[in-house]
Amino acid sequence: MPARTDHAKLRGRSWRVLKDEFRKRCREVNARCWICDQQINYQAKFTDPASFEADHVKPVSTHPQLALIMGNLRPSHQSCNRGRGARPIDGAWTRADWS
């Protein structure tokens, strides 16, 4: 069987379980987007730009070993996460309480 690609890990059961647990924890404390510091709509469908999306602080493309580590995740809006892409973090992208 061929080795799974780094991003393929994010389509597997382990990722779904981790993402669901992380979302649950974020929703319980009403965590805000770590990128823009605005409220996240936890009831929104995944297609909504204001919906919750788990952001990998250190991108999977450069740090595949951290893909399934909860400590590498931060709550974000879908639009903020996708807008940031795999760019490295700098002060402009992080809130003080998440860095």
pLDDT band at 7, cuts 50/70/90?
Answer: low
Tell me the β-bridge partners of 75.
Answer: 54
Q: Tell me, what's the pLDDT at 87? A: 76
Q: Could you state, in order of their start, the residue ranges of all structural domains in the chain?
A: 7-86
Q: Tell me, what's the pLDDT at 93? A: 47
Quick one: which of 55, 57, 59 has its CA closest to 80? 55
Tokens encoding 21? 């647990």
For 23-52, what is the mean pLDDT?
95
- pLDDT(2) > 50: no
**Comparing 96 with 89, which gets the higher pLDDT?**
89
Q: Tell me, what's the pLDDT at 4? A: 46
